Chain A
C-alpha cells in the first residue's frame, strides 16, 4: 500500500504541474498584452511642406514620406519598397516616387507604375487640421 500511496502522490504532483504549465500560458495567451504602446502620432505644420514637395519622417520607427501633391492634397506613404525593402524617394521633377535599388516607379497614390514591386506602398492615416497634419 505504501507504494500505491507514493505513486498516487507523485502522479498528483506531476498532474498539477502539467495543469499549471497549461493554465499559466493560457492566461497569458488570453489576457491582453501588457505595455502595448499606443501608436504615437506625429504632428506637422502644413507650412513645413510646400506644394509639390515632400518630407521624410519616422513614425514609430517606420520611415514614411509625406507628399503635398499639387491639386490633390497631402498623402502619407510608407517609404519601404514592397519589393525588397529599400527606401523610396520622391522625384519632384517627374511627380513620382522612385526606388533607387531596382528602379521601381510608384505614382503619387503609392500604386506601382513599373518595376518589380508586387504591391503598392502602404498608405497611412492622415488627418488635415486647420494649420497642421496629424499622421498615425
Chain B
C-alpha cells in the first residue's frame, strides 16, 4: 500500500512544478472578489486623489469615502455623469458629463435622483427664494456636497439656520418633527437589535424606510401646519411597526425560554441516568 501511495505523492509533487497551471489558476482563483481583491476602481478617483490636483480638490475623494452615498455604491459618475471606466472620455459631455452645477442649479442636480424632495423643495420658501433672487439655501447648504451623511433631525440646528433668519420659526418646525423622528429612531434601533438576533427584518425595514422617506420629503415643504396635520398619520403607521417589533421580541423571549426548558430536562435526564448507572462496587 505504501509504494503506490509514495509513487502518487512523487507524481503529484513533480507535476506541481509545472508552473503553467499555477498562473492560470491564480488568475482565476485570486482575482475573484471573494478573495478580497478589489474590483478596478473609478478612473475619476485615480486623478482627483493624486498630487496633480489642487489641495481643495484632492480632499474630495476622501470626503466622499466617509459619506452615506459611498456606502450605498453611489460614486462620481452617478451625479456628475461621464465615463468612470475610460480615462480619455471620463469628462466628455458625450458620455453625459455634467460638471459642477451652478449654485442655483444644485437642486436640479441632486433632484436627478431625489425626485420627490426636489418637487417639495421648489414649492417651499427656500426653493422660491433661491430661484427668484439667486440667494438662499440649496441642498449643499445643509447637506454638504461630498460628505453627505444619513439624514437626521440634527441637520436642523441654530448654527446652520440662524445664518440667514431667526431661529424661532425653525424651532417650531423642529418641535413638530421631533416626536416622529424619535419614534423612527427607536424603531430603527429595535430593528437592528432584531437583526442581530437573527430575525429577517426586510419587510419592516422597507416599511420604516418608506415612512421615513415620505416624512422627510414632507419637511422640505417647510409647511409646519402640513407636518403637524400629518404627524398623527405617520405616528399611527410607526406605532403599527413598533407593535410588530415588540411582538417579535416577545416571541424571541419565548423561544429562549422554551429551548432553555428543554435543555434543563436533558440535563436532568443525564444526571438521572448517571445516578442510575452507579453500581455498588463489586
Contact = CB atoms under 8 A, between A and B. Distances in A.
B269 A101 contact: no
A115 B276 CA distance: 69
Contacts of B45: none
Given A4-B276, A7-B276, A11-B276, A84 B266 contact: no
23 contacts: A3-B275, A4-B276, A7-B275, A11-B269, A14-B265, A14-B269, A18-B265, A18-B266, A21-B258, A80-B206, A80-B210, A81-B210, A84-B209, A84-B210, A85-B205, A85-B207, A86-B210, A100-B119, A100-B213, A101-B115, A101-B116, A102-B113, A102-B115
Given A100-B116, A103-B115, A84 B206 contact: yes
Interface in A99-125: 99-103, 115
A11 B113 CA distance: 67
Interface in A1-30: 3-4, 7-8, 10-11, 14-15, 17-18, 21
Give 4 nearest A-B pairs by CB, closest first. A85-B206, A100-B116, A11-B272, A86-B210
Interface string B205-241: 1110110011001000000000000000000000000
Interface residues of B, number: 26
Contacts, number: 65
A110 B214 CA distance: 22
B114 A14 contact: no
Given A101-B213, A103-B113, 10 more contacts: A3-B275, A7-B272, A14-B269, A21-B261, A80-B206, A85-B206, A85-B207, A87-B210, A87-B214, A101-B210
Interface in B80-132: 112-117, 119
A136 to B, nearest CB: 19
A26 to B, nearest CB: 13
Contact of A15 (B261, B269, B276): B269
A98 interface: yes
Nearest to B117: A100
A102 B72 CA distance: 12
Interface string A67-100: 0000000000000110011110000000000111
A54 B214 CA distance: 20
Contacts of B116: 100-101
Interface string B238-282: 000000000000000000001001100110110011011000000
A10 B209 CA distance: 54
B262 A14 contact: no
Contacts of B258: 21
Nearest to B78: A116
A86 B209 contact: yes
A104 to B, nearest CB: 9
B209 A85 contact: yes
A113 B139 CA distance: 27
A103 B114 contact: yes
A14 B268 contact: yes
Interface string B196-209: 00000000011101
A85 B210 contact: yes
Given A84-B206, A85-B207, A85-B210, A102 B114 contact: yes
Contacts of A15: 269
